[in-house]
């Protein structure tokens, strides 16, 4: 069992739809928190409560220093006796991952103009888009965080090479390792 400790509800919505598509047969649970402080406070308690589970801690960067943030979260895991917990930082927010696949955004919001975002300098590095959720709301006025997470969870391409977001690719590579699966969702035989 893999337990995903998440900062907020939209990541839970996304992962609960995307992960079963990407990692067939993976047993997991997503635990949402009410922001970064709530997540960080709960890490030691949750890691100690489930000694047989594997953990993935996922937190948005929100412009913070990624290396310092990751080191702080790893330290919390180590102090809880779980140095094996995987910590992944989302640069900047979940919606950065969505900007990594402009064709998918165009499809789920039925707006062909969104497909061309990857050709614009501002969006070529989706992890560098400031306030991606606000930017996406500006570009697709019907966007709402949880609804957008559900839409993208069912439509996001399964091949990591199709996503321009480096933080998304690193997240998937980490989950592949912790799950023990082969690339592109082919599970190991049991």
User: What pLDDT score was predicted for residue 190?
Assistant: 37
pLDDT in tens, 5-37: 999 999 999 999 999 999 999 999 999 999 999
Distance CA 5, CA 29 (A): 9
Assigned token pair, 76: 């919390």
Which tens digits make up the pLDDT trace of 142-158? 999 999 999 999 999 99
Contact 136, 100 (CB under 8 A): no
pLDDT at position 184 over 90:
no
Percent of the chain with pLDDT over 70: 95
3-state helix, strand, coil in the chain (%, to 5): 55, 15, 30
Could you give the angle at which helices 66-79 and 36-49 cross, rounded to 10 degrees? 30
Secondary structure class of 54 (helix, strand, coil): strand
Q: Identify the band that residue 186 occupies on the pLDDT scale cut at 50, 70 and 90.
A: very low
Residue 147, pLDDT score: 98
The DSSP-derived string for 61-97 is: -TTS-HHHHHHHHHHHHHHTT-TT-EEEEESS-HHHH
pLDDT band of 181, cuts 50, 70, 90: very low
User: Average per-residue pLDDT in the chain?
Assistant: 93
Strands across the sheet containing 86-90:
28-32, 2-6, 54-60, 86-90
Residue ranges of the domains in the chain? 1-190
Cβ–Cβ under 8 Å, residues 30 and 13: no
């Amino acid at each position: 069992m893999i337990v995903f400790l998440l900062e907020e509800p939209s990541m839970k919505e996304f992962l609960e739809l995307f992960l079963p598509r990407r990692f067939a047969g993976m047993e997991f649970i997503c635990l949402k928190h009410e922001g970064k402080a709530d997540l960080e406070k709960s890490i030691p308690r949750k890691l100690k409560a489930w000694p047989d589970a594997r953990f993935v801690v996922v937190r948005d960067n929100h412009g913070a220093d990624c290396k310092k943030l990751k080191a702080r979260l790893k330290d919390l895991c180590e102090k809880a006796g779980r140095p094996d917990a995987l910590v992944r930082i989302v640069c900047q927010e979940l919606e950065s991952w969505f900007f990594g696949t402009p064709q998918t955004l165009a499809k789920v919001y039925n707006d062909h103009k969104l497909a061309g975002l990857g050709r614009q300098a501002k969006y070529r590095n989706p992890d560098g888009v400031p306030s991606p959720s606000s930017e996406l709301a500006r570009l697709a006025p019907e966007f709402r965080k949880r609804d957008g997470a559900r839409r993208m969870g069912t439509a996001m391409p399964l091949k990591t090479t199709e996503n321009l977001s480096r933080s998304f690719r690193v997240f998937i590579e980490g989950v592949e390792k912790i799950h023990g699966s082969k690339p592109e969702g082919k599970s190991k035989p049991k």
